[in-house]
Chains A and B, each alone.
Chain A
């Protein structure tokens, strides 16, 4: 049963991507196809999770090669849980993107590359979660990164190219570090199979182990945006279209966190670098959230909270206890859903208010109460207000930290509480300014400032302005003039509409601009998932707990892959 199901989360999106590319001339069938594929992936993932939770881990030797040599896919509780959460948010984001495309009149001229690339991204994420050997993990990373390069630079506008260059080069560097680490691991042990490595790495001299461990940690740390390797993230994520930013924020960094969990527990159980990880976790939490407090752009603020909350997961990993790991696993699941939802809400805010700059927004709660609720509930969840799932995850981690009892763990507990409070502060500032204050209190902006802010916050929520205005550079160098003129006109229009001196009738025309139902429904669906995580916290935490026990025990994973006789 599992041997048939396990490759499907990778295979289905890849085949779906090919089919979506073929049907790019028929936008409707393309949309139906990609939604159907992701629904199927979600169903398969849920089945895998139920099987894995009931019967324990299973492994599939793809291609039928004997185990330490061939490619192995391993489904255990951790990877199955990650698959379920990942495919849920991917489906939600895809529906949001379909709604956005329909609302922006792209029915006839869709960006035909979006759906195939999105499916490839999902395939890469699934492959990374299922990979049973280091090199397959690398391939999974490369698949998802390659798709993410394309998605981040969709439309090829100047801000996206600028952000994309940072992102691509940083990702390439981390991939090279990872590949070099794989080469060194192979040189030292003669295998890249993770279960095999778990047996053999322990026989190496301690210095070699620490070298390999730190190289892998650097590679994954860049991908997971752990301070001090996190500076690239707030620089590149906010420029992408809203659904792309949402799926990146939810999934890509968590794949890095997953890789850290896997390698730290399975390959290097000694915890030689746990102290270093604790420092990194503390710095990630505090530096990230201080950055968030200083931001006035909603998307950049959310990007900084994303970095900050990675620190909680690293904290749980560094503790190395069952309670700590269970907290980290639960927090990853919670954070994938919550961060994706919040970025989708930011996309809706941009549509409704014309900007994501908190200083220029105002009165959203009155204009769109539904949007206000959609922001408020996940935002409070992010800050960890009881009884929501963010509170449960943080409580579990802090409890694990207190139980561990070392002074460093206590410092991290304090840091975690401070970070939680500062998150609340940052979120409350957004709430009071963008949603709560009357629109008349929003400052009157000159058009230039509005233009700068709008261009900075991603140049609109659609991949527009891209190919239209770049008919080759003309000799006097104004070949790029027309898109900026078009953008200028758009900003002027927005800024004029935001002018508080206008008569109420003019101001209310913007308030009446309806949000597309599909986009709202997708966001509401994901918000409901985050609330459901609270209701299902009991069973979910149970799975996380059992996953953590498996991780620390290591025997289930190794004996599943290599057979019972090889277990140390």
Chain B
């Protein structure tokens, strides 16, 4: 049997689209990107089983004509795992929406503050003298600082942030 070019092209296309979506801030698109990449990986495992053949059932086909059953078993497991994880991520997206009316990846306020600092010398940045907000180590406050709320979503079709403070 001759190798097919269709499968590699599809796998590559799915990976490309998946990575593109995964890098989006909207969590729904991140999930879609993950699903595309998951399917690409499943196709990759399928193509690892070699050329297509008959169903691997004894008595139905001869061993030489069978396709390799092991990758199919692996894919089945992977599909189940992907399904479960997708359900969980959907629930988390919903939760995020209920909490902050926002289903985008949160802004990392600490990163922004570090980027905005004018002084970079260590002795000018004694933690004791920094603004208390700068010292706060977690980012949870970042969801509710005025700046974060004014940022809005960078996706046009996402509603602007409404209050939640």
Contact = CB atoms under 8 A, between A and B. Distances in A.
Contacts of A470: 98-99
Interface residues on A, range: 35 or more
Contact of A357 (B101, B106, B108, B137): B137
A172 B85 contact: yes
A1 to B, nearest CB: 30
B45 interface: yes
B45 A297 contact: no
Interface residues of B, number: 49
Interface stretch (A90-98, A153-161, A251-259, A333-341): A153-161
Interface string A271-308: 00000000000000000000000111101100000000
Given A153-B92, A169-B30, A459 B140 contact: yes
A245 to B, nearest CB: 12
B88 A180 contact: no
A294 B163 CA distance: 32
Contacts of B92: 153, 161, 164-165, 168
B133 to A, nearest CB: 6
B44 A180 contact: yes
Interface string A469-501: 010110011111000100000000000000000
Contact of B141 (A146, A183, A456, A472): A456
B132 interface: yes
Interface in B135-162: 135-141, 143-144, 162
A164 B81 CA distance: 18
B13 interface: no
A153 B99 CA distance: 13
A484 to B, nearest CB: 7
Nearest to A453: B136
Contacts of B141: 452, 455-456
A168 B138 contact: no
A456 B48 contact: no
Contacts of B85: 142, 146, 149, 168, 172
21 contacts: A135-B77, A146-B85, A153-B92, A159-B138, A162-B139, A163-B139, A175-B81, A176-B41, A180-B41, A182-B45, A235-B139, A296-B127, A300-B138, A448-B132, A453-B138, A455-B140, A456-B139, A477-B162, A479-B98, A480-B98, A480-B99
Interface of B: 22, 27, 30, 34, 37-38, 41, 44-45, 47-49, 70-71, 74, 77-78, 81, 84-85, 88-89, 92, 95-96, 98-101, 105-106, 108, 127-128, 132-133, 135-141, 143-144, 162-165
Interface of A: 69, 135, 139, 142, 146, 149-150, 153, 156-159, 161-166, 168-169, 172-173, 175-176, 179-180, 182-184, 186-187, 192, 235, 238-239, 294-297, 299-300, 357, 359, 445-446, 448-449, 452-453, 455-459, 470, 472-473, 476-480, 484
